[in-house]
Every structure is written in structure tokens, then in C-alpha cells.
């Protein structure tokens, strides 16, 4: 009744198989969470880029139309960032502060700030995992000079 070492086959126990599948599942779950985190960061970077371009466009329009001395409440505009079907609603405010004249340098001007935010109507609200979704562009405008 002796068996030779060549005929014995080593089989994995059920515990070893469950442990191996558990490790592989944990690996895939970790990779999935990593890619999800990267995708979230990419979406925020994409929206921030669009927000900066949008803020600069609003700032140029405000200066070109001489609207920098009048402040108004928040406004919004829906534009697409990733695809046309899912538009992101961007909110913005224009704020200006009068800068006093400096003798021999300039006759005074306005410090114009455009703040743009998205995802929510409240500029101060943060989104979990992404922080505040807003950007701000400021420019010193001296009337009579080129914008």
C-alpha cells in the first residue's frame, strides 16, 4: 500500500483557493478605486480649465462693455465641458473695486474680479473628494487703456 512520490498530486485546499481569490479581488478593487480617483481628479481639472476660460471671457466682456463699475448678483450659464449632452452649469459673479489715482502714474481704475463656480449654486460649498469647485480671475483695468 505504499505510494510513490511521483504519483501523489498536490491539490490546493479550499482555504487556499478562497484566500487566493480574495487577494485577487482585493487587488482589482484597489485598482478600481485608484482609477476612479484619477477620473475624479481629471474631471475637476477639466472643469477648472473651462471655468478659467469662461471667467476670462466674462472679464473681457465686462471690460469691453464698460460694466465694471456696476456689480450685480450671481448669474449662471450652462456650457458643456466633457460632452454636449451633459452640460455643466457655471455660476459667476463680477465684483469691482475702485482703485484711487496715483499722480503721474494713472488716473485711477478698477480691480475687476470674476469668480466662477460649478456643481452647486453656492460658491463656498465643497464637494467630497474634490474640494471647492471654483476659480477666480482678477484684472486691474485702467479706463482709457487697452483691455
87-to-30, 76, 84, 90, 131 alpha-carbon distances in Å: 31, 12, 6, 9, 20
Q: Say if 84 falls within a structural domain.
A: yes
Domain around 32: 14-141
For position 81, what pLDDT does the model report? 60
Tell which residue, 127, 15, 114, has the closest CA to residue 63: 114
- pLDDT, mean over the chain: 80
Instruction: Report strand pairing: 134-141 vs 109-118.
Output: antiparallel
pLDDT in tens, 128-144: 777 778 889 999 888 86
| Distance, CA of 14 to CA of 105 (rounded, Å) | 84
Q: For 26, phi and psi rounded to 5 degrees?
A: -65, -40
Q: Say if 54 falls within a structural domain.
A: yes
pLDDT in tens, 48-84: 888 899 899 989 988 888 887 666 666 766 666 656 6
b vs e for 55-85, b when ≥16 Cβ sit within 10 Å of the residue's Cβ?
A: beebbeebbeeeebeeeeeeeeeeeebeeee
Q: Sorting pLDDT into bands at 50, 70 and 90, what band is 31? A: very high
Q: Say if 4 falls within a structural domain.
A: no
Total of domains in the chain: 1
Q: Say if 9 falls within a structural domain.
A: no
pLDDT in tens, 100-118: 888 777 788 888 999 988 8
CB atoms within 10 A of CB 112: 21
Of residues 124 and 31, more confidence is placed in 31
Q: Say if 147 falls within a structural domain.
A: no
Tell which residue, 95, 131, 87, has the closest CA to residue 116: 95
Amino acid at each position: 500500500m505504499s505510494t510513490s512520490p511521483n504519483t501523489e498530486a498536490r491539490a490546493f485546499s479550499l482555504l487556499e483557493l478562497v484566500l487566493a481569490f480574495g487577494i485577487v479581488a482585493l487587488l482589482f478593487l484597489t485598482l478600481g478605486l485608484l482609477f476612479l480617483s484619477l477620473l475624479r481628479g481629471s474631471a475637476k481639472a477639466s472643469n477648472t480649465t473651462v471655468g478659467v476660460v469662461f471667467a476670462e471671457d466674462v472679464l473681457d466682456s465686462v471690460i469691453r462693455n464698460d460694466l465694471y463699475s456696476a456689480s450685480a448678483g450671481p448669474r449662471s450659464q450652462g456650457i458643456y465641458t466633457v460632452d454636449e449632452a451633459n452640460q455643466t452649469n457655471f455660476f459667476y459673479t463680477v465684483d469691482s473695486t475702485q482703485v484711487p489715482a496715483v499722480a503721474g502714474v494713472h488716473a485711477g481704475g478698477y480691480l475687476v474680479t470674476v469668480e466662477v463656480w460649478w456643481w452647486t449654486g453656492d460658491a463656498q460649498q465643497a464637494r467630497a473628494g474634490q474640494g471647492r469647485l471654483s476659480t477666480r480671475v482678477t484684472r486691474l483695468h485702467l479706463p482709457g487703456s487697452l483691455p
